[in-house]
Every structure is written in C-alpha cells, then in structure tokens.
Amino acid sequence: MDLDHRGKHPNSLANLTHDGRPQNWGEGKKKRNLTVTETGWQGVQAIAKEMNLSISELLEKIGRGEFKISP
C-alpha cells in the first residue's frame, strides 16, 4: 500500500477546509456516548432504517418532540 499519497487527494484536502454539513436545527451538534444492550441497539437501528433516518436524526426528532414515544 502506497502511503505517500495519503491526504493528498484534492477531495481529501477539500474536506479539511469545508464547513461540514449544513445545520438542520440552527445549532451545532456535539458527539455523545451512550450505552445500550445489543437488542436495544438493533431495535433502534431497525426503527431508524424503517423511517429512512440516521440514529442521530431519529434521536434528535424524539428529543425535540417531533416524535412521541408511548408505552
């Protein structure tokens, strides 16, 4: 593997200076850590996939009250 070209591709260099994804919510996001069981994680992944959302966006919508959770 030729490592001399690592980080030199024009697209790679552009990624270092762009502003990132546009903010959908008017504020920046922060990385968070969470701990769940494998069963719980698989369930959340299935829900997100069914709704065509990332897990991050699913949690954002739940937290903002756009999706209601009921027992």
Q: Is residue 7 part of a domain?
A: no
Enclosing domain of residue 47: 35-71
Cα 58 → chain centroid:
9
The answer to whether residues 55 and 67 touch, using CB atoms and an 8 Å cutoff, is: no
Q: pLDDT tens across 41-60, in order?
A: 999 999 999 999 999 999 99
The tally of domains found in the chain comes to 1
Residue 2's pLDDT band (cuts 50, 70, 90): low
Q: Is residue 55 part of a domain?
A: yes
Rounded alpha-carbon distances, angstroms, from residue 10 to 2, 7, 18, 20: 17, 8, 12, 16
Q: Is residue 25 part of a domain?
A: no
- Tokens standing for residue 43: 């369930």
Q: Is residue 44 part of a domain?
A: yes
Q: Is residue 63 part of a domain?
A: yes
Q: Is residue 13 part of a domain?
A: no
